[in-house]
Amino acid sequence: MVTSTESPLSRLPDPLLRWYRVNARDLPWRRTDSPYPIWVSEIMLQQTRVVAVLGYYGRFLAAFPTVRALAGASEDHLFKLWEGLGYYSRARNLQKAARIITERLGGVFPRTYKDLIALPGIGDYTASAIASAAFGQREAAVDGNVLRVFTRLTDCHRDITDLKVRRAVREQVGTVMPRAADDIRIFNQATMELGATVCVPGGPPKCGLCPARDFCLGRIRQTASALPVKAPKKERKIEEKTVFLLQREDGRIALKKRPGSGLLAGLWEFPNVSGTLDGGAGQELLSHWGLTPRDWRKRLTAKHIFTHVEWHMTGYSLLVSGAGTENFFWAGSADLDKIAVPSAFAKYLAEARSLLDAPPD
């Protein structure tokens, strides 16, 4: 019999698991205990909402149904299937890890936290999530949802952006994890589900629906809405850019590849430079690129927010003649269906598609 002297965290597992088995969302990666699809889902879900991932997940696994298929994919095909999800380094690390599993581990997926965390792109949370959901190992997976549940449940006012605090939470959650394999497989998912659907961010928790409402200190002490505590984020750096949407008279549009390292590494983009250029400076740059403007069609402004930087873009849509520089790739409509252009350039990509789809004059 549970007594009132027990900690709220130790009282969580049984009611949480009962609640989860009745209320969990039916998500495709929850219908399997195979490590590969679970891994893919966990990487896709990093910094991305579930509703955004659902379509990508099915298409990705249809194209790359096995670790070996992912390892052998071309980079352009991989990035095209990832197009719009953002944080493309996740896709690159997925493939790096798939190649390690295929080439060094004989295609056998690592089973332990220690071996999983050694793979590219797999950190503490992801290694724990895979080890528990796929292999039934008692590893606590602590993400933002779990931190929110924990701090409200225990009325913890420590800064959850502090790595020491996150480690302490992981250790404490690990001590109350169930021991039966079937329960272990869903415990982390259940805690995350509670944080995503009941103990929600950006608003008051739905305490009336919570399986922990009778012993949650945050609800009892009326502090839940003020938790978790986070240090203020640093202001994002603002970068000005000038983007050129260049179409030749044969209809093709200029793209170029970004460098192999850094932000959006290896992806395709429209030619651009730092700073905000006016028409005169833009014309000088076009001449440097070996292009002659025939028609300045439109000015297009856009903004894109990354985690630590914000791009403010001024764009020009032009009809040009000339070959351009050697690193330009002149793309047709079919090419845009095969290569990935990051969502930072979504406005320019939409305009490019409309130009390519327009009937000839």
The Cβ of residue 103 has, within 10 Å, a number of other Cβ atoms equal to: 11
Q: Are 271 and 343 in contact (CB under 8 A)?
A: no
What is the SS3 assignment for 287-336?
Answer: HHCCCEEEEEEEEEEEEEECCCEEEEEEEEEEEEECCCCCCCEEECHHHH
Tokens of 23: 């209320």
Closest-CA residue to 341 (of 258, 280, 230, 277): 258
Q: Please, what sign has the CA dihedral across residues 319, 320, 321, 322?
A: negative
CA distances from 20 to 25, 69, 188 (A): 9, 34, 11
Q: Cα-flanking dihedrals φ and ψ of residue 97, to 5°?
A: -65, -40
Dmax over CA atoms of the chain, in Å, equals 82
> Helix crossing, 89-103 with 35-45: angle to 10°?
160
- 42 is an active site residue: yes
Q: Which of 42, 83, 193, 351 is catalytic?
A: 42
Catalytic residues: 42
